[in-house]
Structure 1
Amino acid sequence: MIAQSMKVAALLLGLFMVAGCGVDGEPIRPTLNAGVGVSSNGVHLGGRVGANKGPVSVTVGF
């Protein structure tokens, strides 16, 4: 499950990087947030990837 989430996150990040370079017009600003939590239940990974263009922001979390 975590490996599949990481693949999806890497794919989205790659797409945002291509769109962010400005090839197809004004560039967008990609964002990335990642975190690791440790508790008595174990280690938890989480993160978000997103993009900002003007007043519009799109974010996907896992």
Structure 2
Amino acid sequence: MTRIFGVLMLAALAGCGADGEPIRPTAQASVGVGSHGVHGAVGTTLRRGNVRVGMGVAL
């Protein structure tokens, strides 16, 4: 139990940026109009050094 609590505390510490600068997300949004109607998309990206992780959805 103590080890699990310790790991959770370290994860919270890393997540809040206390060991360095916090990771800031970037958001994207787009709206398009074409012959098939109107479409939109939204997404977010997290970047840390050379690693970039993104997630989005098209509407």
TM-score range, shorter chain: 0.5 to 0.7
Structure having the larger proportion of residues in helix: 1
Structure 1 stretches lacking a partner, 5+ long: 1-21
* The structure with more strand, counted as a fraction of residues: 2
Distance in 2 (CA, whole Å) between partners of 1:53 and 1:60 is: 15
TM-score (norm 1): 0.53
TM-score (norm 2): 0.55
Secondary structure of 2:33's aligned partner? strand
Seq. identity, %: 44
Q: Would you identify which runs of 4 or more consecutive aligned residues in structure 1 move more than 4 Å?
A: none
Q: Which has the larger radius of gyration?
A: 2
Q: Output the aligned Cα RMSD.
A: 1.8
